[in-house]
Chains A and B, each alone.
Chain A
Amino acid sequence: MDSLDEVMKARAQRTRVETQTGRKLAPDEQVGEGDAPSDILSEDGDPEKKALMGMLLKTLAPDPAKQDDLQERFKNNGPFTDEQLKLMQDARYEFNERYMLLNEAKTLFGADELQQIANKHAGYGKYMAGFTPERAKELTDMHFASLAMRNVKSLRRLVDERKAIEEKKKNPGYRNLLADVEWATKATGLSAKDLTATVDLSNRAGSEARLQAKVREQYDQIQNRPLRWFKKACDWAFNSSGQTARSAFDAMNDTDKATVVKEINKNINIIGLVLMNTIRPRADFIAALSQEVWGGKKVELEGMEQVTSATDVESRRAKITDTALQTRWNTEKDKLSQDKFKKKYGRLNPAQADSLRDDFLSDAERKAGGRGSTIFASILERIVFLIFGSHRINKATLLP
Protein backbone atom coordinates (compact mmCIF):
# COMPACT_ATOMS: atom_id res chain seq x y z
CA MET A 1 0.00 0.00 0.00
CA ASP A 2 1.27 3.44 -0.88
CA SER A 3 2.22 5.73 1.94
CA LEU A 4 0.38 9.00 2.37
CA ASP A 5 3.51 10.77 1.26
CA GLU A 6 3.60 8.82 -2.01
CA VAL A 7 -0.07 9.40 -2.64
CA MET A 8 0.34 13.13 -2.07
CA LYS A 9 3.38 13.18 -4.28
CA ALA A 10 1.56 11.37 -7.11
CA ARG A 11 -1.36 13.76 -6.82
CA ALA A 12 0.97 16.74 -6.99
CA GLN A 13 2.60 15.28 -10.10
CA ARG A 14 -0.75 14.85 -11.82
CA THR A 15 -1.73 18.42 -11.00
CA ARG A 16 1.58 19.69 -12.31
CA VAL A 17 1.31 17.76 -15.58
CA GLU A 18 -2.29 18.90 -16.09
CA THR A 19 -1.37 22.51 -15.46
CA GLN A 20 1.67 22.41 -17.71
CA THR A 21 0.06 20.57 -20.60
CA GLY A 22 -3.44 22.00 -20.36
CA ARG A 23 -4.80 18.46 -20.59
CA LYS A 24 -7.00 16.63 -18.09
CA LEU A 25 -5.50 13.26 -17.34
CA ALA A 26 -7.73 10.18 -17.33
CA PRO A 27 -8.25 8.72 -13.80
CA ASP A 28 -6.30 5.58 -14.65
CA GLU A 29 -3.60 7.33 -16.66
CA GLN A 30 -0.11 6.87 -15.30
CA VAL A 31 2.11 9.90 -14.95
CA GLY A 32 5.52 8.70 -15.92
CA GLU A 33 8.54 10.51 -14.66
CA GLY A 34 10.71 9.65 -17.63
CA ASP A 35 14.41 10.42 -17.76
CA ALA A 36 15.87 13.27 -15.76
CA PRO A 37 17.02 16.30 -17.80
CA SER A 38 20.57 15.75 -16.62
CA ASP A 39 20.51 12.18 -18.00
CA ILE A 40 19.04 13.26 -21.31
CA LEU A 41 21.54 16.09 -21.68
CA SER A 42 24.51 13.94 -20.70
CA GLU A 43 27.09 12.89 -23.30
CA ASP A 44 25.51 9.44 -23.53
CA GLY A 45 22.03 10.83 -23.94
CA ASP A 46 19.85 10.02 -26.95
CA PRO A 47 20.57 12.73 -29.60
CA GLU A 48 16.92 13.23 -30.51
CA LYS A 49 15.80 13.51 -26.89
CA LYS A 50 18.71 15.81 -26.21
CA ALA A 51 17.64 18.20 -28.95
CA LEU A 52 14.02 18.05 -27.79
CA MET A 53 14.99 18.71 -24.18
CA GLY A 54 17.03 21.69 -25.36
CA MET A 55 13.95 23.07 -27.08
CA LEU A 56 11.81 22.46 -24.01
CA LEU A 57 14.25 24.20 -21.68
CA LYS A 58 14.27 27.18 -24.02
CA THR A 59 10.49 27.22 -23.82
CA LEU A 60 10.44 26.92 -20.04
CA ALA A 61 13.28 29.40 -19.54
CA PRO A 62 13.08 31.86 -22.43
CA ASP A 63 15.63 34.24 -20.90
CA PRO A 64 18.94 33.58 -22.76
CA ALA A 65 21.04 34.59 -19.74
CA LYS A 66 19.28 31.99 -17.61
CA GLN A 67 19.76 29.39 -20.34
CA ASP A 68 23.49 30.10 -20.48
CA ASP A 69 23.75 29.91 -16.71
CA LEU A 70 21.89 26.61 -16.67
CA GLN A 71 24.20 25.17 -19.29
CA GLU A 72 27.28 26.23 -17.35
CA ARG A 73 25.98 24.46 -14.27
CA PHE A 74 25.21 21.34 -16.26
CA LYS A 75 28.81 21.33 -17.48
CA ASN A 76 30.12 21.70 -13.95
CA ASN A 77 27.58 19.32 -12.41
CA GLY A 78 26.04 22.13 -10.39
CA PRO A 79 25.47 23.59 -7.95
CA PHE A 80 21.95 24.49 -9.12
CA THR A 81 19.80 27.26 -7.73
CA ASP A 82 16.38 26.53 -6.28
CA GLU A 83 14.81 28.04 -9.39
CA GLN A 84 16.87 25.76 -11.63
CA LEU A 85 16.03 22.70 -9.58
CA LYS A 86 12.34 23.49 -9.88
CA LEU A 87 12.74 24.05 -13.62
CA MET A 88 14.37 20.64 -14.04
CA GLN A 89 11.74 18.99 -11.91
CA ASP A 90 9.02 20.51 -14.07
CA ALA A 91 10.93 19.62 -17.21
CA ARG A 92 11.21 16.00 -16.17
CA TYR A 93 7.48 15.37 -16.02
CA GLU A 94 6.60 17.71 -18.80
CA PHE A 95 9.15 16.31 -21.20
CA ASN A 96 7.80 12.82 -20.77
CA GLU A 97 4.25 14.01 -21.36
CA ARG A 98 5.19 15.97 -24.45
CA TYR A 99 7.36 13.18 -25.78
CA MET A 100 4.45 10.72 -25.55
CA LEU A 101 2.20 13.17 -27.38
CA LEU A 102 4.82 13.62 -30.07
CA ASN A 103 4.97 9.89 -30.68
CA GLU A 104 1.18 9.73 -30.78
CA ALA A 105 1.11 12.45 -33.44
CA LYS A 106 3.79 10.69 -35.46
CA THR A 107 1.77 7.47 -35.39
CA LEU A 108 -1.49 9.21 -36.23
CA PHE A 109 -0.12 10.98 -39.29
CA GLY A 110 1.74 8.36 -41.32
CA ALA A 111 2.80 8.88 -44.93
CA ASP A 112 -0.38 7.23 -46.22
CA GLU A 113 -2.60 9.39 -44.01
CA LEU A 114 -0.84 12.54 -45.20
CA GLN A 115 -1.39 11.53 -48.82
CA GLN A 116 -5.07 10.87 -48.12
CA ILE A 117 -5.47 14.27 -46.52
CA ALA A 118 -3.68 15.86 -49.47
CA ASN A 119 -6.04 14.12 -51.90
CA LYS A 120 -9.02 15.41 -49.98
CA HIS A 121 -7.88 18.96 -49.26
CA ALA A 122 -6.63 20.84 -52.27
CA GLY A 123 -5.09 23.55 -50.10
CA TYR A 124 -2.83 21.14 -48.25
CA GLY A 125 -2.26 19.06 -51.40
CA LYS A 126 -0.79 22.10 -53.12
CA TYR A 127 1.97 22.34 -50.52
CA MET A 128 2.61 18.63 -50.38
CA ALA A 129 2.72 18.26 -54.16
CA GLY A 130 6.47 18.79 -54.42
CA PHE A 131 7.31 16.05 -51.95
CA THR A 132 6.93 12.31 -51.80
CA PRO A 133 4.61 11.18 -48.99
CA GLU A 134 7.63 9.79 -47.17
CA ARG A 135 9.50 13.10 -47.35
CA ALA A 136 6.37 14.98 -46.32
CA LYS A 137 6.16 12.65 -43.33
CA GLU A 138 9.77 13.43 -42.35
CA LEU A 139 9.14 17.16 -42.57
CA THR A 140 5.86 16.89 -40.68
CA ASP A 141 7.55 14.93 -37.91
CA MET A 142 10.13 17.71 -37.63
CA HIS A 143 7.32 20.20 -37.21
CA PHE A 144 5.60 18.00 -34.64
CA ALA A 145 8.81 17.78 -32.63
CA SER A 146 9.17 21.52 -32.61
CA LEU A 147 5.50 22.00 -31.78
CA ALA A 148 5.59 19.45 -28.95
CA MET A 149 8.31 21.37 -27.18
CA ARG A 150 7.32 24.92 -28.12
CA ASN A 151 3.54 24.91 -28.30
CA VAL A 152 2.19 21.66 -26.92
CA LYS A 153 -1.42 22.86 -26.84
CA SER A 154 -1.46 23.27 -30.62
CA LEU A 155 -0.19 19.74 -31.10
CA ARG A 156 -2.69 18.41 -28.56
CA ARG A 157 -5.50 20.19 -30.42
CA LEU A 158 -4.39 18.70 -33.75
CA VAL A 159 -4.17 15.18 -32.34
CA ASP A 160 -7.52 15.48 -30.55
CA GLU A 161 -9.21 16.86 -33.65
CA ARG A 162 -7.91 14.04 -35.82
CA LYS A 163 -8.94 11.40 -33.30
CA ALA A 164 -12.39 12.95 -32.96
CA ILE A 165 -12.91 12.74 -36.73
CA GLU A 166 -12.00 9.07 -36.77
CA GLU A 167 -14.20 8.29 -33.77
CA LYS A 168 -17.14 10.16 -35.25
CA LYS A 169 -16.96 8.10 -38.41
CA LYS A 170 -17.27 4.94 -36.34
CA ASN A 171 -20.21 6.27 -34.32
CA PRO A 172 -23.48 4.31 -34.84
CA GLY A 173 -25.47 7.55 -34.81
CA TYR A 174 -23.41 8.81 -37.70
CA ARG A 175 -24.02 5.63 -39.66
CA ASN A 176 -27.77 5.85 -38.99
CA LEU A 177 -27.77 9.42 -40.21
CA LEU A 178 -26.07 8.36 -43.42
CA ALA A 179 -28.76 5.71 -43.91
CA ASP A 180 -31.41 8.42 -43.45
CA VAL A 181 -29.67 10.59 -46.00
CA GLU A 182 -29.59 7.72 -48.47
CA TRP A 183 -33.31 7.38 -47.96
CA ALA A 184 -33.91 11.09 -48.42
CA THR A 185 -31.96 11.25 -51.65
CA LYS A 186 -34.35 8.74 -53.09
CA ALA A 187 -37.31 10.71 -51.82
CA THR A 188 -38.76 11.52 -55.17
CA GLY A 189 -39.37 7.81 -55.65
CA LEU A 190 -40.43 7.00 -52.10
CA SER A 191 -43.23 4.62 -51.38
CA ALA A 192 -46.09 5.63 -49.09
CA LYS A 193 -45.19 2.77 -46.79
CA ASP A 194 -41.89 4.40 -45.86
CA LEU A 195 -43.60 7.56 -44.73
CA THR A 196 -46.66 6.42 -42.86
CA ALA A 197 -45.33 7.03 -39.39
CA THR A 198 -43.36 10.17 -40.04
CA VAL A 199 -46.04 12.83 -39.70
CA ASP A 200 -49.70 13.29 -38.89
CA LEU A 201 -51.27 16.27 -40.55
CA SER A 202 -54.74 15.88 -39.11
CA ASN A 203 -56.44 18.02 -36.47
CA ARG A 204 -54.84 21.27 -37.48
CA ALA A 205 -56.43 24.41 -38.86
CA GLY A 206 -55.07 27.21 -41.00
CA SER A 207 -55.77 29.83 -43.59
CA GLU A 208 -55.00 30.16 -47.24
CA ALA A 209 -53.35 33.55 -46.87
CA ARG A 210 -50.97 32.38 -44.20
CA LEU A 211 -50.00 29.31 -46.16
CA GLN A 212 -49.40 31.35 -49.28
CA ALA A 213 -47.28 33.78 -47.28
CA LYS A 214 -45.34 30.84 -45.91
CA VAL A 215 -44.77 29.43 -49.36
CA ARG A 216 -43.53 32.80 -50.58
CA GLU A 217 -41.32 33.21 -47.53
CA GLN A 218 -39.82 29.78 -47.99
CA TYR A 219 -39.32 30.38 -51.67
CA ASP A 220 -37.39 33.58 -50.86
CA GLN A 221 -35.30 31.62 -48.44
CA ILE A 222 -34.50 29.11 -51.12
CA GLN A 223 -33.39 31.87 -53.46
CA ASN A 224 -31.19 33.54 -50.90
CA ARG A 225 -29.96 31.07 -48.35
CA PRO A 226 -30.92 27.57 -49.37
CA LEU A 227 -29.39 25.65 -46.51
CA ARG A 228 -31.04 27.62 -43.73
CA TRP A 229 -34.33 26.75 -45.32
CA PHE A 230 -34.29 23.18 -44.09
CA LYS A 231 -35.40 23.86 -40.58
CA LYS A 232 -37.97 26.41 -41.64
CA ALA A 233 -39.45 23.96 -44.12
CA CYS A 234 -39.72 21.42 -41.35
CA ASP A 235 -41.34 23.92 -38.99
CA TRP A 236 -43.72 24.98 -41.69
CA ALA A 237 -44.96 21.51 -42.51
CA PHE A 238 -45.29 20.37 -38.91
CA ASN A 239 -46.17 23.40 -36.85
CA SER A 240 -46.80 26.55 -38.82
CA SER A 241 -47.68 28.46 -35.66
CA GLY A 242 -50.43 26.01 -34.83
CA GLN A 243 -51.80 25.97 -38.37
CA THR A 244 -52.03 22.87 -40.45
CA ALA A 245 -50.54 22.98 -43.88
CA ARG A 246 -53.05 20.44 -45.10
CA SER A 247 -56.12 22.30 -43.88
CA ALA A 248 -54.81 25.52 -45.33
CA PHE A 249 -54.17 23.73 -48.57
CA ASP A 250 -57.73 22.44 -48.69
CA ALA A 251 -59.01 26.00 -48.40
CA MET A 252 -57.06 27.17 -51.47
CA ASN A 253 -58.33 27.58 -55.00
CA ASP A 254 -57.02 25.22 -57.69
CA THR A 255 -54.40 27.65 -58.98
CA ASP A 256 -52.85 28.14 -55.56
CA LYS A 257 -53.01 24.43 -54.87
CA ALA A 258 -51.10 23.78 -58.08
CA THR A 259 -48.50 26.36 -57.00
CA VAL A 260 -48.04 24.73 -53.61
CA VAL A 261 -47.68 21.25 -55.08
CA LYS A 262 -45.13 22.59 -57.53
CA GLU A 263 -43.19 24.24 -54.70
CA ILE A 264 -43.23 21.09 -52.61
CA ASN A 265 -41.87 19.00 -55.47
CA LYS A 266 -39.28 21.60 -56.31
CA ASN A 267 -38.07 21.85 -52.74
CA ILE A 268 -37.93 18.11 -52.29
CA ASN A 269 -35.63 18.00 -55.28
CA ILE A 270 -33.47 20.83 -53.97
CA ILE A 271 -33.04 19.20 -50.58
CA GLY A 272 -32.43 15.82 -52.19
CA LEU A 273 -29.74 17.30 -54.36
CA VAL A 274 -28.01 18.98 -51.44
CA LEU A 275 -28.13 15.80 -49.38
CA MET A 276 -26.86 13.75 -52.27
CA ASN A 277 -23.86 16.04 -52.47
CA THR A 278 -23.12 15.54 -48.80
CA ILE A 279 -22.66 11.81 -49.27
CA ARG A 280 -21.02 11.99 -52.69
CA PRO A 281 -19.08 15.09 -51.88
CA ARG A 282 -17.35 17.51 -54.12
CA ALA A 283 -14.76 19.53 -52.25
CA ASP A 284 -16.06 22.89 -53.43
CA PHE A 285 -19.62 22.03 -52.47
CA ILE A 286 -18.66 20.88 -48.98
CA ALA A 287 -16.50 23.97 -48.47
CA ALA A 288 -19.43 26.18 -49.47
CA LEU A 289 -21.70 24.21 -47.19
CA SER A 290 -19.32 24.64 -44.29
CA GLN A 291 -19.08 28.35 -45.00
CA GLU A 292 -22.88 28.57 -45.03
CA VAL A 293 -23.16 26.91 -41.65
CA TRP A 294 -20.19 28.54 -39.96
CA GLY A 295 -19.79 31.76 -41.88
CA GLY A 296 -20.89 35.16 -40.77
CA LYS A 297 -20.64 38.70 -41.94
CA LYS A 298 -17.32 40.40 -41.59
CA VAL A 299 -17.54 42.80 -38.72
CA GLU A 300 -16.71 46.40 -39.55
CA LEU A 301 -14.46 48.14 -37.10
CA GLU A 302 -14.05 51.67 -38.28
CA GLY A 303 -11.71 52.64 -35.50
CA MET A 304 -9.23 49.91 -36.32
CA GLU A 305 -8.39 51.35 -39.71
CA GLN A 306 -6.94 54.49 -38.17
CA VAL A 307 -4.59 53.04 -35.59
CA THR A 308 -1.17 54.66 -35.57
CA SER A 309 0.82 53.05 -32.80
CA ALA A 310 1.15 49.91 -30.73
CA THR A 311 -0.18 51.78 -27.69
CA ASP A 312 -3.14 52.89 -29.72
CA VAL A 313 -3.75 49.31 -30.78
CA GLU A 314 -3.54 48.03 -27.24
CA SER A 315 -6.05 50.58 -25.98
CA ARG A 316 -8.44 49.66 -28.77
CA ARG A 317 -7.96 45.96 -28.27
CA ALA A 318 -8.88 46.28 -24.61
CA LYS A 319 -12.34 47.37 -25.66
CA ILE A 320 -12.89 44.37 -27.92
CA THR A 321 -14.66 41.55 -26.19
CA ASP A 322 -17.10 40.10 -28.68
CA THR A 323 -15.88 36.96 -30.44
CA ALA A 324 -16.52 38.27 -33.93
CA LEU A 325 -14.76 41.51 -33.14
CA GLN A 326 -11.86 39.59 -31.72
CA THR A 327 -11.63 37.55 -34.91
CA ARG A 328 -11.54 40.71 -36.95
CA TRP A 329 -8.96 42.13 -34.60
CA ASN A 330 -6.74 39.13 -35.20
CA THR A 331 -6.91 39.76 -38.93
CA GLU A 332 -6.10 43.45 -38.59
CA LYS A 333 -3.38 42.78 -36.11
CA ASP A 334 -1.50 40.68 -38.63
CA LYS A 335 -1.32 43.53 -41.07
CA LEU A 336 -0.17 45.90 -38.38
CA SER A 337 2.57 43.49 -37.42
CA GLN A 338 3.70 43.17 -41.01
CA ASP A 339 3.84 46.92 -41.55
CA LYS A 340 5.75 47.35 -38.34
CA PHE A 341 8.19 44.67 -39.44
CA LYS A 342 8.73 46.17 -42.87
CA LYS A 343 9.54 49.58 -41.46
CA LYS A 344 12.06 48.41 -38.91
CA TYR A 345 13.66 45.31 -40.34
CA GLY A 346 17.14 45.89 -41.70
CA ARG A 347 17.91 48.98 -39.64
CA LEU A 348 18.45 47.35 -36.27
CA ASN A 349 21.39 46.20 -34.19
CA PRO A 350 21.22 42.61 -32.86
CA ALA A 351 19.81 43.62 -29.49
CA GLN A 352 17.07 45.67 -31.10
CA ALA A 353 16.38 42.89 -33.59
CA ASP A 354 16.18 40.38 -30.76
CA SER A 355 13.73 42.57 -28.92
CA LEU A 356 11.69 43.20 -32.05
CA ARG A 357 11.66 39.51 -32.85
CA ASP A 358 10.20 38.75 -29.45
CA ASP A 359 7.75 41.55 -29.96
CA PHE A 360 6.66 40.05 -33.26
CA LEU A 361 6.40 36.54 -31.97
CA SER A 362 4.32 37.75 -29.09
CA ASP A 363 2.19 39.95 -31.29
CA ALA A 364 1.62 37.25 -33.88
CA GLU A 365 0.66 34.64 -31.35
CA ARG A 366 -2.31 32.79 -32.67
CA LYS A 367 -5.57 32.81 -30.85
CA ALA A 368 -7.29 29.44 -30.64
CA GLY A 369 -9.91 29.12 -33.34
CA GLY A 370 -8.65 32.02 -35.45
CA ARG A 371 -8.38 30.99 -39.12
CA GLY A 372 -8.24 32.45 -42.62
CA SER A 373 -5.32 34.84 -42.92
CA THR A 374 -4.15 33.72 -39.49
CA ILE A 375 -2.60 30.76 -41.28
CA PHE A 376 -0.32 33.18 -43.04
CA ALA A 377 0.31 35.01 -39.81
CA SER A 378 1.61 31.72 -38.38
CA ILE A 379 3.79 31.19 -41.43
CA LEU A 380 5.08 34.76 -41.32
CA GLU A 381 5.79 34.25 -37.64
CA ARG A 382 7.94 31.24 -38.46
CA ILE A 383 9.79 33.21 -41.14
CA VAL A 384 10.43 36.00 -38.66
CA PHE A 385 11.70 33.42 -36.21
CA LEU A 386 14.02 32.02 -38.87
CA ILE A 387 15.34 35.45 -39.86
CA PHE A 388 15.96 36.58 -36.31
CA GLY A 389 16.86 33.13 -35.08
CA SER A 390 20.62 33.70 -35.32
CA HIS A 391 20.53 36.28 -32.56
CA ARG A 392 18.86 33.87 -30.18
CA ILE A 393 21.17 31.00 -31.07
CA ASN A 394 24.25 33.15 -30.39
CA LYS A 395 22.96 34.04 -26.98
CA ALA A 396 21.33 30.79 -26.00
CA THR A 397 24.00 28.18 -26.28
CA LEU A 398 22.29 25.30 -24.58
CA LEU A 399 21.81 23.32 -27.76
CA PRO A 400 21.49 24.14 -31.45
Chain B
Amino acid sequence: MISNIVADTYEKLAELVSTGKEAEAHDFLASRMKQLPEALQADILGIMLAEAVHEEAREMEAVQQVQKEGVAAMKALVALKESLEKSGHGQ
Protein backbone atom coordinates (compact mmCIF):
# COMPACT_ATOMS: atom_id res chain seq x y z
CA MET B 1 0.00 0.00 0.00
CA ILE B 2 1.42 3.32 -1.07
CA SER B 3 -0.27 5.20 1.78
CA ASN B 4 1.43 2.87 4.27
CA ILE B 5 4.79 3.50 2.69
CA VAL B 6 4.19 7.24 2.78
CA ALA B 7 3.06 7.22 6.41
CA ASP B 8 5.93 4.93 7.37
CA THR B 9 8.37 7.19 5.54
CA TYR B 10 7.01 10.19 7.41
CA GLU B 11 7.35 8.51 10.78
CA LYS B 12 10.91 7.28 10.21
CA LEU B 13 12.05 10.47 8.59
CA ALA B 14 10.57 12.61 11.34
CA GLU B 15 12.25 10.42 13.93
CA LEU B 16 15.68 10.72 12.28
CA VAL B 17 15.36 14.47 11.77
CA SER B 18 14.10 15.17 15.28
CA THR B 19 17.06 13.28 16.74
CA GLY B 20 19.49 15.26 14.62
CA LYS B 21 20.50 12.39 12.32
CA GLU B 22 20.39 14.36 9.12
CA ALA B 23 22.90 12.25 7.20
CA GLU B 24 20.98 9.08 8.03
CA ALA B 25 17.76 10.84 7.11
CA HIS B 26 19.17 11.63 3.67
CA ASP B 27 20.33 8.04 3.16
CA PHE B 28 16.98 6.70 4.29
CA LEU B 29 14.93 9.00 2.09
CA ALA B 30 17.13 8.46 -0.95
CA SER B 31 16.80 4.69 -0.54
CA ARG B 32 13.00 5.06 -0.40
CA MET B 33 12.67 7.24 -3.47
CA LYS B 34 11.62 4.51 -5.91
CA GLN B 35 8.85 3.28 -3.63
CA LEU B 36 7.24 6.67 -3.10
CA PRO B 37 4.41 8.08 -5.23
CA GLU B 38 5.50 9.95 -8.32
CA ALA B 39 4.28 13.32 -6.99
CA LEU B 40 6.40 12.92 -3.89
CA GLN B 41 9.41 11.81 -5.91
CA ALA B 42 9.01 14.98 -7.97
CA ASP B 43 8.77 17.21 -4.92
CA ILE B 44 11.74 15.62 -3.17
CA LEU B 45 13.91 15.89 -6.27
CA GLY B 46 12.83 19.49 -6.74
CA ILE B 47 13.50 20.43 -3.12
CA MET B 48 16.95 18.82 -3.25
CA LEU B 49 17.68 20.54 -6.56
CA ALA B 50 16.83 23.93 -5.06
CA GLU B 51 19.09 23.13 -2.14
CA ALA B 52 21.95 22.16 -4.47
CA VAL B 53 21.59 25.37 -6.48
CA HIS B 54 21.39 27.45 -3.33
CA GLU B 55 24.49 25.76 -1.94
CA GLU B 56 26.34 26.34 -5.19
CA ALA B 57 25.49 30.05 -5.05
CA ARG B 58 26.63 30.31 -1.43
CA GLU B 59 29.79 28.33 -2.09
CA MET B 60 30.65 30.45 -5.07
CA GLU B 61 30.28 33.62 -3.03
CA ALA B 62 32.28 32.15 -0.14
CA VAL B 63 35.04 30.99 -2.46
CA GLN B 64 35.25 34.40 -4.09
CA GLN B 65 35.46 36.08 -0.71
CA VAL B 66 38.27 33.76 0.38
CA GLN B 67 40.06 34.19 -2.91
CA LYS B 68 39.98 37.98 -2.67
CA GLU B 69 41.28 37.95 0.89
CA GLY B 70 43.79 35.23 0.11
CA VAL B 71 45.24 37.01 -2.89
CA ALA B 72 45.55 40.28 -0.95
CA ALA B 73 47.26 38.53 1.98
CA MET B 74 49.52 36.60 -0.33
CA LYS B 75 50.65 39.76 -2.08
CA ALA B 76 51.47 41.37 1.24
CA LEU B 77 53.35 38.37 2.59
CA VAL B 78 55.27 37.68 -0.57
CA ALA B 79 56.27 41.32 -0.82
CA LEU B 80 57.47 41.24 2.78
CA LYS B 81 59.36 38.05 2.12
CA GLU B 82 60.96 39.59 -0.94
CA SER B 83 61.97 42.62 1.04
CA LEU B 84 63.60 40.41 3.68
CA GLU B 85 65.36 38.35 1.04
CA LYS B 86 66.85 41.48 -0.47
CA SER B 87 68.38 42.34 2.88
CA GLY B 88 69.74 38.83 3.24
CA HIS B 89 67.21 37.44 5.73
CA GLY B 90 65.06 35.34 3.42
CA GLN B 91 64.77 31.54 3.48
Contact = CB atoms under 8 A, between A and B. Distances in A.
Interface of A: 109, 114, 117-118, 120-121, 123-124, 126-131, 136, 139-140, 142-144, 146-147, 154, 157-158, 161-162, 164-165, 168, 174, 177-178, 180-181, 183-184, 187, 190, 192, 195, 198-199, 201, 227, 229-231, 233-234, 236-238, 245-246, 249-250, 257, 261, 264-265, 267-268, 271-272, 274-275, 278, 281, 286-287, 289-290, 292-294, 334-335, 338-339, 341-342, 345, 371-373, 375-380, 382-384, 386-387
B43 A382 contact: yes
B22 A154 contact: no
Contacts of A164: 57
A230 B48 contact: no
A234 B86 CA distance: 21
A158 B50 contact: yes
B39 A187 contact: no
Given A161-B54, A195-B75, A278-B63, A127 B30 contact: yes
Given A177-B68, A278-B67, A387-B7, 15 more contacts: A123-B26, A130-B33, A139-B42, A158-B49, A165-B60, A192-B82, A249-B84, A268-B81, A274-B70, A278-B63, A278-B66, A379-B13, A380-B10, A382-B43, A383-B13
> What size tier do the contact residues of chain B reach?
35 or more
B76 A237 contact: yes
Contacts of A261: 81, 84, 89-91
Contact of A382 (B14, B40, B90): B40
Contacts of A143: 42-43, 45-47, 49
Interface of B: 3, 6-7, 9-11, 13-14, 17-18, 22, 25-27, 29-30, 33-34, 37-84, 86-87, 89-91
Given A233-B77, A289-B62, A127 B50 contact: no
Nearest to A245: B80
The 4 closest A-B CB pairs, nearest first, are: A143-B46, A237-B76, A230-B69, A124-B52
A117 B82 CA distance: 43
A293 B66 CA distance: 8
Given A161-B53, A342-B11, A379-B43, A287 B89 contact: no
Q: Which of A117, A174, A271 has the most CB of B within 10 A?
A: A271
B28 to A, nearest CB: 11
Contact of A230 (B7, B38, B53, B70): B70
Interface of B is mostly: helix
B9 to A, nearest CB: 7
Contacts of A292: 62
A114 to B, nearest CB: 7
Q: Which of A120, A184, A236 has the most CB of B within 10 A?
A: A184
Contact of A187 (B46, B63, B74): B74
A234 B76 contact: yes
Contacts of B44: 127, 379, 382
Given A126-B30, A142-B39, A386-B39, A114 B74 contact: no
A230 B55 contact: no
B70 A181 contact: yes
Contacts of A131: 33, 45
A320 B40 CA distance: 33
A127 B77 CA distance: 45
A400 to B, nearest CB: 11
B13 A376 contact: yes
B58 A290 contact: yes
A267 B69 CA distance: 14
Contacts of A109: 49
A279 B17 CA distance: 34
Nearest to B3: A387
Q: Which of B29, B71, B87 has the most CB of A within 10 A?
A: B71
A165 B42 contact: no
B77 A264 contact: yes
Given A237-B79, A275-B74, A382-B43, A117 B63 contact: no
B71 A341 contact: no
A195 B56 CA distance: 33
B81 A265 contact: yes
Contacts of B29: 127, 379
Contacts of B62: 286, 289-290, 292-294
